[in-house]
């Protein structure tokens, strides 16, 4: 492991301390989790990307056949129309 020292604006530092306390974790662990999360959005998992390339609408439709045909709860409704929902 590597150790680094960073300077944070006071407000960011206080928010980070509070969030770490709320999640019962040390501040350094929160920082690692936050950095890993950000890096994963900037550098997608290549394995997942390869699996996504193999996906097809036919495979999706086949998978969806196993989903019960029920109306979603109010909290789970989309406010936008899905392009394939017809």
| Domain edges within the chain | 10-65
Based on the number of CB atoms within 10 Å of its own CB, is 43 exposed (0-12), middle (13-18) or buried (19 or more)? exposed
29, 20 contact by CB (below 8 A): yes
d(CA 27, CA 38): 17
- Report residue 86's pLDDT band, with 50, 70 and 90 as the boundaries: very low
pLDDT, average across residues 36-57 = 87
Q: What is the pLDDT of residues 18-44, one digit of tens each?
A: 999 999 999 999 999 999 999 988 887
**What is this structure's pTM?**
0.52
Residues 6+ apart with CB under 8 A from 29: 20
């Amino acid at each position: 492991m590597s150790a680094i020292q960073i300077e944070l604006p006071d407000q960011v530092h206080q928010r980070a301390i509070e969030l770490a306390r709320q999640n019962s974790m040390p501040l350094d662990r929160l920082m690692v989790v936050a950095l890993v999360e950000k890096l994963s959005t900037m550098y997608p998992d290549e394995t997942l990307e390869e699996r996504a390339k193999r996906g097809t609408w036919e495979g999706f439709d086949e998978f969806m056949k196993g989903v019960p045909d029920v109306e979603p709860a109010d909290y789970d409704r989309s406010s936008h129309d899905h392009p394939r929902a017809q």
